[in-house]
Amino acid sequence: MGRFRDALSASGLQGIAEVKRRSPSAGELRVGADPAELAASYQRAGAAAVSILVDARFGGSWDDLRAARSAASLPLLAKGFFSTDVDLRVAREAGADAALLILRDLDDKTARGLLAVAADLGLDTLVEAHDAEELARAARLDAPVIGINARDLATFAIDRRAQLWLVASSPRDRIIVAESGIESRAQGAVAELAGADAILVGSALMRASDPAQKLSELLSRPLVKVCGLTRVEDVAAAVEAGADMAGFVLAEGSPRRASGVLQVPDTMLAVAVEVGEPSGEEADLVQLYPHEEGKVRGRDAALLLDGREVAKVLDLPWGENDPAHLERARTAKGRIMLAGGLGPDNVRAAIDAVRPWAVDASSALESAPGVKDHDLIRCYVMAAR
């Protein structure tokens, strides 16, 4: 296993941070970007690897890769439209640990030959697919690292839903990278839930006033959920405060029952909170509790993406307390969303004790059942961050 592949195999969602001065779809992004300075700052911010555009159409060159290599020790991905052995040899000599192979531009014979050359050079590859046919080809080629690009290279349109379906359909014995169109922590997180091991982010970083800080923000955990939302103005307050998820309770008998899942921006995730069986209400995720006789819900829930459990929600019993709640959550295995009694005054201590993947608050953010206090929302999100 090479350095690039090894770095992406670490636990949790990994980030490949890109150096890209311009793009055909977005035009100029960061004129005069210094690849050495950016690579070093990305390394300090926790990137698993750095992607360097070496193609002139993106404002890049092989000298950019050499400059990044001089300033950073983490794995470097050479990104361009490579089709020959010479391309891979130049990439290796310039300091790359991996090279991009775009299946749209390569037939199977050529791709297989390039994979063999890369292996001989000690060079990892990121084999990029855009649709189900290309994903199947990548699997047949035994590509160890597969990139799923949400961008159509002909139209430049982004289709995240198609990307998530492809990520979820990818072989589980490969490293999967979600590429393009990721601008928020929530968008990266849903790719992670679908099965991505890493995200590759370029334009969002290049547009940011501080690219390294933006990378750190995208990878930071826990995610923050505001639940029990019933009003459009409260959703807007959660968005403004920087929450990643908006929860809408659809369970009968709840004092916070919403009329349905309200609209949220695509930089945020909508969560339908239900009991028993999913209603089919359209949402990014479903938080599904079991029935419990005489109560609105059972204690803990499963977080579902397209019907598949992707995390556990550890909560308090309905209407009850449990002094051992945080200890129970701390020792739990897997991806955990911590819920139950959280608010601005205690969420930081709970995070420090449990280190959850996400936190969830509802009643502690209210002025009345189902009516949120916007100052409390802001204080809660700030404390959780």
**What pTM does this model have?**
0.94
Q: For residues 368 and 40, what is the distance between their CA atoms, to the nearest angstrom?
A: 49
Question: What pLDDT is stored for residue 1 in this prediction?
Answer: 67
Question: What pLDDT is stored for residue 150 in this prediction?
Answer: 87
Question: What pLDDT is stored for residue 263 in this prediction?
Answer: 96
Domains of the chain and CATH, by start: 3-219 (3.20.20.70), 223-384 (3.20.20.70)
DSSP code for 364: G
Q: Which residues does the chain have with pLDDT short of 50?
A: none
Question: What pLDDT is stored for residue 181 in this prediction?
Answer: 84
Residues 6+ apart with CB under 8 A from 194: 164, 167, 168, 178, 305, 310
CB atoms within 10 A of CB 70: 12
Region of 341 (left: φ > 0; alpha: ψ -120 to 50; beta: rest) is left
- C-alpha distances (whole Å) from 32 to each of 71, 72, 114, 373 are 17, 19, 32, 45
Question: What pLDDT is stored for residue 23 in this prediction?
Answer: 82
Kindly state the tokens that stand for 100.
């991009």
Q: For residues 185 and 135, what is the distance between their CA atoms, to the nearest angstrom?
A: 25
How many Cα atoms occupy the beta-carbon half-sphere of 3 within 13 Å?
17
Cα angle value 103/170/334 (rounded, 5°)? 140
The predicted-structure confidence for 81-125, as pLDDT tens digits, reads as follows 999 999 999 999 999 999 999 999 999 999 999 999 999 999 999
